[in-house]
Structure 1
Amino acid sequence: MRNNQFAIKPTNKEQQINELVSIHFLDEGNEFESDPALLWRSFLRKALTEASSDGVFEQKLTSFMATRTQTLAQYFQSHDQVEITAFYNVALQLLDFQPELDFEIDQPLAAMKKIHLSISQHQSEIFSIDELKSAWYWLLATHNKNGQTFIDQLATQGYFTRFYDDPEVMRPLIFNGKSMPVFDPHQLKREVVYVESSQDTDHDGKLDLLKAEVIRPAMSGTNCPVPALYTASPYNQGTNDEFGDKLMHDVNTPLVHKEPNHNTYDSIEYRQKDVPLPAPRKVQATATEAEETFSREQSYTLNDYFLARGFAVVYAAGIGTKDSDGVRTTGDPEETTSTIAIIEWLAGNRKAFTNKTDNIEIKADWCNHQVGMTGRSYLGTLATAAATTGVKGLKTIISEAAISSWYDYYRDNGLVIAPGGFPGEDCDVLAEETFSRRLQAGDYHQVQDTWQKQLAQIAKEQDRKTGDYNTFWDARNYRKNLKNIKADVLLVHGLNDWNVKPRNVEKLWNGIKNNKINQKIILHQGQHIYINAFRSIDFTDIANLWLTHELLDVDNGAEKIIPDVIIQDNLTPETWNSYSDWSDPQNQKKNYYLSENSLSSDKLPNSQTLEFSDKLPENIFQNYCKNIDKWQNDLVATNSTAMQNHRLIFSSKELENELILDGVPTVKLRVASDQDIGLLSFQLIDFGQRKRFNVSPTILKAKGLAETFDWREDDLREFTTAKVATPYKMITKGHINLQNRTHPYRVDELKPNEFYDISVELQPTFYKLAEGHQLGLVVYATDFGMTIQGNQAITYRVDTDHSSLLVPIHD
Structure 2
Amino acid sequence: MKSSKKLILSVVCLVLVQLCPIDSRAQKEPAKPFFENGEAQIVKAFEDPAYWIREDLWVETEFDSDGDGLLDRMHVDVTRPRQTESEGLKLPVVYNSSPYFAGTAGNNREFFWDVRHEIGEKPTQHVHPPEIQRRGKRPIISKGHVSTWVPRGYVVVHSSSPGTGLSDGSPTVGGDNESLAPKAVIDWLCGRAKGYKTRRGDEEVEAYWSTGKVGMTGTSYNGTLPLAAATTGVEGLEAIIPVAPNTSYYHYYRSNGLVRSPGGYLGEDVDVLFDFIHSGDLDKRAFARKTVRDDEMKNGQDRITGDYNDFWAGRDYLNDMEPMKAALLMSHGFNDWNVMPEHSYRIYEAAKAKGIPTQIYYHQNGHGGPPPISMMNRWFTRYLFGVENGVENDPKAWIVREDDERDKPTPYKDYPNPDASPVTFFLTSGAPAHGALVTVQPSEQANETLVDNYSFSGEALAEAEITEHRLMYVSPELKEELHLSGKSKITIKAASSKPAVNLSVYLVSLPWNNGRRVKITDNIITRGWADLQNYKSLRESQPLKPGTFYEITFELQPDDQVIKAGQQIGLMIFSSDKDFTLHPKPGTELTVDLNGTSIEIPVVGGADAYNKAIQ
TM-score (ref. length: structure 1) = 0.66
Pairwise mapping of residues 56-455 of structure 1 onto structure 2 (< 5 A)? 167-168=28-29, 171-182=32-43, 183-186=46-49, 187-221=51-85, 223-241=88-106, 246-256=110-120, 294=138, 296-300=140-144, 302-437=145-280, 443-455=281-293
How far off its partner does 1:572 sit?
5.4
Q: Distance in 2 between matches of 1:253 and 1:347?
A: 52
Do structure 1's residue 771 and structure 2's residue 555 form an aligned pair?
no
Q: For this pair of structures, how many residues does the alignment match?
A: 559
How far off its partner does 1:415 sit?
1.3
Q: Is the 8 A contact 1:593 1:804 kept in 2?
A: yes
2:582 to 773, 788, 791: 788
**Alignment partner of 1:473: what SS?**
helix
Tell me the residue number matched to 1:568: 400
**Alignment partner of 2:179: what SS?**
helix
**Alignment partner of 2:103: what SS?**
coil
User: Amino acid of the residue matched to residue 636 of structure 1?
Assistant: A
* Deviating more after overlay: 373-382 vs 462-471: 462-471
Tell me the residue number matched to 1:502: 341
Q: Is the 8 A contact 2:249 2:312 kept in 1?
A: yes
User: Amino acid of the residue matched to residue 606 of structure 1?
Assistant: E
Q: Which runs of 5+ in 2 are unaligned?
A: 1-23, 123-135, 430-434, 606-615
Q: Distance in 1 between matches of 2:593 and 2:176?
A: 44
Cα deviation, 1:43-66, whole Å, max 9, x if unaligned, reads xxxxxxxxxxxxxxxxxxxxxxxx
* Deviating more after overlay: 197-206 vs 597-606: 597-606
Cα deviation, 1:701-751, whole Å, max 9, x if unaligned, reads xxxxxxxxxxxxxxxxxxxxx755979601111111111112321223421
Q: Distance in 1 between matches of 2:26 and 2:300?
A: 57
How far off its partner does 1:407 sit?
0.5
Q: Distance in 1 between matches of 2:571 and 2:208?
A: 58
Residues 1:497 and 1:727: Cα distance change in structure 2 (over 3 Å): closer
User: Amino acid of the residue matched to residue 427 of structure 1?
Assistant: V
**Alignment partner of 1:408: what SS?**
helix
Residues 1:471 and 1:356: Cα distance change in structure 2 (over 3 Å): same
Residues 1:189 and 1:732: Cα distance change in structure 2 (over 3 Å): same
* Deviating more after overlay: 480-489 vs 676-685: 480-489
Cα deviation, 1:100-133, whole Å, max 9, x if unaligned, reads xxxxxxxxxxxxxxxxxxxxxxxxxxxxxxxxxx
How far off its partner does 1:223 sit?
2.4
**Alignment partner of 1:786: what SS?**
coil
Q: Distance in 1 between matches of 2:118 and 2:82?
A: 59
Cα deviation, 1:569-625, whole Å, max 9, x if unaligned, reads 125566631111112699411011011211011222132100011147xxxx3xx5x
Residues 1:304 and 1:164: Cα distance change in structure 2 (over 3 Å): farther
How far off its partner does 1:402 sit?
0.5
Displaced runs of 4 or more, over 6 A: 163-166, 725-728
User: Amino acid of the residue matched to residue 595 of structure 2?
Assistant: D
**Alignment partner of 1:455: what SS?**
helix
Tell me the residue number matched to 1:600: 438
How far off its partner does 1:167 sit?
4.2
Q: Distance in 2 between matches of 1:164 and 1:592?
A: 73
**Alignment partner of 1:542: what SS?**
helix
Tell me the residue number matched to 1:614: 452
How far off its partner does 1:681 sit?
0.3
Q: Distance in 1 between matches of 2:25 and 2:106?
A: 42
How far off its partner does 1:784 sit?
0.8
Tell me the residue number matched to 1:468: 307
How far off its partner does 1:775 sit?
0.6
Do structure 1's residue 680 and structure 2's residue 508 form an aligned pair?
no
How far off its partner does 1:303 sit?
4.2
Q: Distance in 2 between matches of 1:654 and 1:164?
A: 71
* Deviating more after overlay: 766-775 vs 494-503: 766-775
Q: Distance in 1 between matches of 2:265 and 2:521?
A: 27
Tell me the residue number matched to 2:608: none
Q: Is the 8 A contact 1:227 1:312 kept in 2?
A: yes
Q: Is the 8 A contact 2:337 2:367 kept in 1?
A: yes
Q: Distance in 2 between matches of 1:584 and 1:340?
A: 35
Q: Distance in 1 between matches of 2:539 and 2:519?
A: 43
Residues 1:299 and 1:252: Cα distance change in structure 2 (over 3 Å): farther
Residues 1:247 and 1:339: Cα distance change in structure 2 (over 3 Å): farther
Q: Distance in 1 between matches of 2:74 and 2:447?
A: 60
Q: Is the 8 A contact 2:66 2:287 kept in 1?
A: no
Tell me the residue number matched to 1:637: 463
Q: Distance in 1 between matches of 2:521 and 2:241?
A: 36
How far off its partner does 1:690 sit?
5.3
Q: Is the 8 A contact 1:688 1:727 kept in 2?
A: no
How far off its partner does 1:217 sit?
1.0
**Alignment partner of 2:83: what SS?**
coil
Q: Is the 8 A contact 1:691 1:725 kept in 2?
A: no
Tell me the residue number matched to 2:490: 667
Q: Distance in 2 between matches of 1:366 and 1:498?
A: 41
Q: Distance in 1 between matches of 2:25 and 2:323?
A: 41
**Alignment partner of 1:305: what SS?**
helix
Residues 1:508 and 1:349: Cα distance change in structure 2 (over 3 Å): same
Residues 1:531 and 1:513: Cα distance change in structure 2 (over 3 Å): closer
Q: Is the 8 A contact 1:687 1:728 kept in 2?
A: no
User: Amino acid of the residue matched to residue 510 of structure 2?
Assistant: F
Residues 1:589 and 1:728: Cα distance change in structure 2 (over 3 Å): same
* Deviating more after overlay: 222-231 vs 402-411: 222-231
User: Amino acid of the residue matched to residue 654 of structure 1?
Assistant: E
User: Amino acid of the residue matched to residue 589 of structure 1?
Assistant: P
Q: Is the 8 A contact 2:223 2:245 kept in 1?
A: yes
2:353 to 485, 499, 514: 514
Residues 1:514 and 1:529: Cα distance change in structure 2 (over 3 Å): closer
Q: Is the 8 A contact 1:588 1:809 kept in 2?
A: yes
Q: Is the 8 A contact 2:427 2:437 kept in 1?
A: yes
**Alignment partner of 1:472: what SS?**
helix
How far off its partner does 1:676 sit?
1.5
User: Amino acid of the residue matched to residue 444 of structure 1?
Assistant: L
Q: Distance in 1 between matches of 2:25 and 2:360?
A: 35
Q: Distance in 2 between matches of 1:390 and 1:348?
A: 16
User: Amino acid of the residue matched to residue 570 of structure 1?
Assistant: E
Q: Is the 8 A contact 2:513 2:520 kept in 1?
A: yes
TM-score (ref. length: structure 2) = 0.86
Q: Is the 8 A contact 1:689 1:725 kept in 2?
A: no
* Deviating more after overlay: 725-734 vs 550-559: 725-734
Tell me the residue number matched to 2:128: none
Q: Which runs of 5+ in 1 are unaligned?
A: 1-162, 259-291, 438-442, 533-538, 625-630, 693-721
Cα deviation, 1:456-501, whole Å, max 9, x if unaligned, reads 1222321111111111101001101223220100110000000111
User: Amino acid of the residue matched to residue 398 of structure 2?
Assistant: I
Do structure 1's residue 546 and structure 2's residue 379 form an aligned pair?
yes
How far off its partner does 1:773 sit?
1.1
How far off its partner does 1:633 sit?
3.4
2:552 to 736, 744, 758: 758
Query: RMSD value over aligned CA atoms?
Result: 2.5
